[in-house]
Each structure stands twice: as structure tokens, then as C-alpha cells.
Amino acid sequence: MYNYTIQSLENLEFIEIAPVSELPNGERLFVDIANKSIVIFNIAGQYFAIGDVCSHDDGPVGDGIIEGNNIVCPRHGGEFDIRTGRAMQMPAVVDIPAYPVKIIDGNILVGMPK
Ligand code: FES
């Protein structure tokens, strides 16, 4: 399981995704990077990126509602911390990937493992 919070940032390659104008406050952006489905959030100007596949039963976790720091998987209600990908609520017990996000020159970049 990849989680940047426990990895060295030196092992990441930041990939340009889109201009920030394509991800307004409160919205989410679904992208595929290196054959991985990823969802990026803009929450009050803070950006987060997690894998869009639930670790419980492959549900579309990125479609879930956000409660506090958690996103609630729409399939069975498992919850994950969108900052770290950590599984927070049953039936989810395995973390999902989380990726760092940078804004540089008005563009969104997501850090992927090299
Ligand atoms: S598929 Fe997400 S909680 Fe079951």
C-alpha cells in the first residue's frame, strides 16, 4: 500500500494534472494517472488526492460524501481519512493510497511514486 505520509517525498514524481480553475472549492476531480484511478479534492483551498477504489470491495469511494476529515464510501459506509487514506470506519480496515498535492504556477500537481 502506498501512502506518502510514510514515504520520503524524494521518491515522488509530481505530475501536472490541470489548472486550479478546473477544481473550484468544494469540487472534486477524477483522473487516471499511471493506470491508477485518483480523486482530487479542493476543500476550502486545501487539496487532497486519494485512490478512487475502496479497499473493502472496490467501491467508488471518491463519490462519497465528506464528513469532517473523512470520506464515506457510498457502497457500504466504510470511511477513510482523505488526508492520509487511513481506514477509519468498518467495514473498511485496509488503508487506501493518498498522494501529496502541490499547486505551482496555477496548476495542480500530484506526487506519484517514481
Ligand atoms: S466497497 Fe467501500 S465500504 Fe464496501
Ligand 1 in contact with 54 (CB < 6 A)?
A: yes
How many Å lie between the centroid of ligand 1 and the Cα of residue 77? 6
Could you tell me the three cell numbers for 70?
A: 473523512
Q: Which long-range contacts (CB under 8 A, 24 or more apart) does 89-95 make?
A: 91/56, 92/54, 92/55, 92/56, 93/55, 93/56, 94/1, 94/55, 94/56, 95/1, 95/3, 95/55
Ligand 1 in contact with 64 (CB < 6 A)?
A: no
Model pTM score: 0.93
Could you tell me the three cell numbers for 82?
A: 482523505
Ligand 1 in contact with 73 (CB < 6 A)?
A: yes
Is pLDDT at 80 greater than 80 in this prediction?
yes
Q: Are 112 and 15 in contact (CB under 8 A)?
A: yes
Cis peptide before 91 (omega within 30 of 0): yes
pLDDT score of 65: 97
pLDDT in tens, 16-62: 999 999 999 999 999 999 899 999 999 999 999 999 999 999 999 99
How many Å lie between the centroid of ligand 1 and the Cα of residue 13? 29
